[in-house]
Amino acid sequence: MSSNRKLLMISSLNLLRRRSRQISTFSTNLTPKSDPSRQSAHSRVPNKPIGGSKLDYALFGRDFSSSSSGLDKCWSCGAIAASKPFLFCESCRSVQPFDHSVDYFQIFGLERAFAIDDSGLESKYKDWQKKLHPDLVHTKSRSSLSLKEKEYAAEQSARVIDAYRTLRTPLLRAIYLMQLEGAHVDEEQTVSDPELLAEIMEIREAVEEVANPPALQQIQFQVKGSLDHWSKSFENAFKKRKFEEAITSIQRMTYYSRINEEIMRKL
C-alpha cells in the first residue's frame, strides 16, 4: 500500500469502511452474468470472498434451500403469502425464514435501479422493524417454536437494517447493484489513477488548511458536484450494462464520498 493510499484511506463513516473492506475482498475480474432476468438466488450472489467478514457471511454464507419452492407458505400457520417479499405472515404475525432470493430493492418495493424514489424508504423501514424486531417475537408467541422464530427475526431484522442503509446511500446502492449483477469491484484499482489521486490530495490539503465553515462549505459544494457527476455517470453506465465504466464511476464516488465525510466531520 502506497503512502498516498494510506493517507487517502483515512477513516470515513463506519458503514463506508465496512463496505469498502467488503469490496476489497473481491477479485479483479469483471464477470457479469449473461442474463440477469434468468439469475437464480445462487447465481446472483457473488463468489464467496476469501476471509469473509460477518457481513460477508450475512450476504453470502447461508444456504439457499428456502427459496426454491414456488408458493411461499407460512412455516407457522401454513397460510399462503399474500404478497412478495414474504418476510412476515399477516395471518398469524410470524416472522418467516430468511430468503436469499429476495433482494434489498424487493424488501422496499422498489425497482432494481440506481435512481430510486427514496421518499418512502424510512417509513417502510420502520414498518418492517415493527414487524420483524426479534424483541417482539417472544411477547406474542408462547409456543416452543418461539426460539426458532426469534432467530428468523434476528436475521430478517439485520437484513432490513442493511438494506435500508445500502439503498439510502448512493455509493452503497451502486456497489450493491454491481454485486447483484455478479460484477466484482476491485477497490485497489482506485490507486492506479494518478490524476484522481492528485486531485483528491489537493482537496484534502485544502480541507486541512481551511478552518472557517464558509470556505469548507465551498469545498464541499465542489466535492458534492463531483459526487453527483460520477453518480450520474454510474447510472448511465449501469443502464447500458457497461460494467467497467460503472465500476470506474464507483471508484470515483468512493473517493469523493470519503472527502465529503472528512468535510462533514470538520464542519
Write out the residues near Zn ion by the rule CB under 5 A.
Answer: 74, 76-77, 79, 89, 91-92, 94
- 73 vs 224 by CB, closer to Zn ion: 73
End-to-end CA distance of the chain: 30
Cβ atoms of residues 138 and 99 within 8 Å: no
CA 244 vs. chain centroid, Å, equals: 19
Each residue of 198-224: b (16+ CB within 10 Å) or e? ebbeebbebbeebeeeeebeebbeebb
**CA triple 104-32-26, angle to 5 deg:** 75
- 29 vs 139 by CB, closer to Zn ion: 139
Is residue 47 classed as helix, strand or coil in its secondary structure? Answer: coil
Q: What's the helix, strand, coil split of the chain in %, to 5?
A: 65, 0, 35
- 7 vs 77 by CB, closer to Zn ion: 77
* Cell numbers at 188, concatenated: 485497489
- 153 vs 263 by CB, closer to Zn ion: 153
- Beta carbon of residue 88, minimum distance to Zn ion (angstroms, whole number): 9
- Beta carbon of residue 241, minimum distance to Zn ion (angstroms, whole number): 40
- 149 vs 155 by CB, closer to Zn ion: 149
- Beta carbon of residue 83, minimum distance to Zn ion (angstroms, whole number): 13
- Beta carbon of residue 107, minimum distance to Zn ion (angstroms, whole number): 19
- Beta carbon of residue 197, minimum distance to Zn ion (angstroms, whole number): 55
